[in-house]
Amino acid sequence: MIRKISLLLLLLTAAARLWTMPKVVVPEAVEPGCPLVVAMKGEQDLEQVGVSLLNAAGGRLLVAGVFHAGDGGSIVMSLMGIPDYFSPGTYEIEMEGRDGTNYFWLRRTVKILPRIFAAEDIEFSTDMTDLKNDNEPKRIEEYYQLLAILHSFHPAALYHPDSFSFPLEQLRQTSGFGDRRGYFYADGGRDSSIHAGIDYGAAAGTPVFASGKGRVVFSSARIITGNTVVIEHMPSLYSLYYHLNSLAVRPDDIVEQGALLGTVGATGLVTGPHLHWEFRLANVPVDPLWFTGNKVLDMIKIMSIMDSTAYERGGD
């Protein structure tokens, strides 16, 4: 009996020694206002996985959802939006979960790089001042309704892992992502904010197209953003289109990249006809231009890194 127990212990010990930590791909550096993509590959199905961004003191700044990618459950991905106001420096990505029956806990460092954003001042007319300062219940209700949508995480929403296209055929940018805005109200008041998207000036009636495939999760009028369309493209990744003159889609429509969403307008809080185009990751605004030049999930590149002979397994 003792021999059998000893043999079982030896076998369990040998099996534990054969298991190695999941492979992890984390970028070395990321700019504020851009996505950070984390990929993990285990020997078995990865479950109960958590991914967080920590500061230098170990404080938890962000928690990101994870979803399975590829065949089976051994590969998981996480998309995290880095806020445009984060200071440059060295941070850590913390990952934990189960690889089959084995628990893992890993950390990888990532640098947030310096980034300079433009500044602009905007003068408001009396009507715009009244609209901006109006906190009627309907406006507050609309705010929380959109907030709930942008915080939604659906692991199966794998509509568009590729790069995105621009929403207009011709581009005339009037405001950039991350612009530090100063508002001058007609009553002499002042305020400031950070611009969450890109504004493109265009004539009213200009067609607006979906930047990528996805599910329409909102298509209706709002007090501040006017006629608005929101599309879910990936788990926690949404594109937004504001101030439209007309709407051509309805909630729960599945739209292809390039599908007509509506037309440019001047609805809501605006100084003239234009399209406000925005991306959000778990409600964190991220630069739309990043998505036009990069695939959301470049699986060929990720798997190439993992399969490289230079890659070392293990964790800290």
The pLDDT of residue 4:
52
CATH 2.60.40.10 is held by the domain 2-115+298-307: no
Whole-prediction pTM value? 0.90
pLDDT tens-place string over residues 266-285:
999 998 999 999 999 999 99
- Domain ranges for the chain, please list them: 2-115+298-307, 119-282
The pLDDT of residue 14:
46
**Which tokens is 50 given?**
């958590």
The pLDDT of residue 316:
37
User: Please, which residues have CB within 8 angstroms of residue 13's CB and are 6 or more apart in sequence?
Assistant: none
Q: Of 94-103, 149-158, 181-190, 236-245, which range is least confident?
A: 181-190
Query: Which amino acid, 264?
Result: V
pLDDT at 257 over 60: yes
Pairing mode, strands 35-41 and 75-81: antiparallel
Which of the four pLDDT bands, split at 50, 70 and 90, describes residue 290?
very high
- Tell me what the pLDDT averaged over the chain comes to: 91
In angstroms, the CA 120 to CA 136 distance is 28
User: Please, which residues have CB within 8 angstroms of residue 174's CB and are 6 or more apart in sequence?
Assistant: 199, 200, 201, 274
Q: DSSP letter at 87?
A: P
In angstroms, the CA 69 to CA 136 distance is 43
Architecture of the domain made up of 119-282: Distorted Sandwich (2.70)
Q: Of 9-18, 67-76, 90-99, 123-132, which range is least confident?
A: 9-18
The pLDDT of residue 73:
82
pLDDT at 11 over 70: no
Q: Give the closest residue to 53 by CA, choosing from 76, 20, 22, 87.
A: 87
pLDDT tens-place string over residues 104-141:
999 999 999 999 999 999 888 888 888 888 888 999 99
Q: Edge-to-edge strands of the sheet including 75-81?
A: 23-25, 35-41, 75-81, 66-68
